[in-house]
Homo-oligomer: A and B are copies of this chain.
Amino acid sequence: MDALNPQFEMIGKQFVNHYFQLFNTGRNELASLYKDVSMMSFENDQCKGTNQILERLNKLPQTVIHKCLSLDIQPTHNNGILILVCGDIVIEENKPLKFVRTFHLLPSMTGEYFIFNDLFRFCIN
């Protein structure tokens, strides 16, 4: 089997903290975490590549607070890292909603991790 990154847990946790922090303080900087091969599904919207993904994320209101209630992280092949986040999301002044997000990170040629897969759903239906 291909290489598994033994530091998957630490990297995954740091990544999630960084991601949700940037989401509010500098959402456009999230561009540095995606590449043109990245995919995102946000509810029923499908986006491919950094530009489309940022455009979709920027359609969300300015103030979006993510509260992570659980964080599960596993290594995937070729040093990838799979993350499942469940929690509450507060959009502007609305009441909290349950959400789930799966990130699949891969190392780039220079060794830094980027988001290859990103899937978001509200758990409200």
List residues of A whose CB falls within 8 A of some B CB: 1-2, 37, 39, 41, 69-70, 72, 74-78, 80, 82, 84, 86, 98, 100, 102, 104, 106, 116-117, 119, 121, 123, 125
User: Can you report 26 A-B residue pairs in the complex whose CB atoms are below 8 A from each other?
Assistant: A2-B78, A39-B74, A39-B75, A41-B74, A69-B125, A70-B121, A70-B125, A72-B119, A74-B119, A76-B104, A76-B116, A76-B117, A77-B78, A77-B80, A77-B106, A77-B116, A78-B78, A82-B82, A82-B117, A82-B119, A84-B100, A84-B121, A100-B100, A100-B121, A100-B123, A123-B123
Q: Which residues of B contact A77 (CB under 8 A)?
A: 78, 80, 106, 116
